Amino acid sequence: MKKIFLLCSAGMSTSLLVNKMKEAAKSQGYEYDIAATSLANLKDIKDEADVILLGPQVRFDKERVEEEVKNIPVDVVDMTAYGMMDGKKVLDQARKLLGEL
């Protein structure tokens, strides 16, 4: 099962978005392990992740995260989708990074 991580400052602001993404995945018949955590936990999760999405508030760390995780796709969550808590749109963003769309 593919593992999608959303990272933000504390892992709390992305928790609601994770729930919305899980709902979208279930309604579309996809199975993903989706979780939110703090950017500070990157070292703990990088070996598990298939894709990493950063909350807009930590977008300035994208280059550092990419350097640390090497071959794992990393992107910043679309700011509009984040603000609207659009789980489907963010799930589609992760699926594109996984090469599924």
Give me 43's structure tokens. Answer: 């070292």
Active-site annotation holder among 7, 8, 65, 94: 8
Q: Is 50 a catalytic residue?
A: no
CA angle at residue 25 from 100 to 65, to 5 degrees?
60
The answer to whether the Cα torsion of 40, 9, 18, 65 is positive or negative is negative
CB 58 within 8 A of CB 12: no
Closest CA to 57 of 1, 7, 4, 2: 7
Query: Which residues are annotated as catalytic?
Result: 8
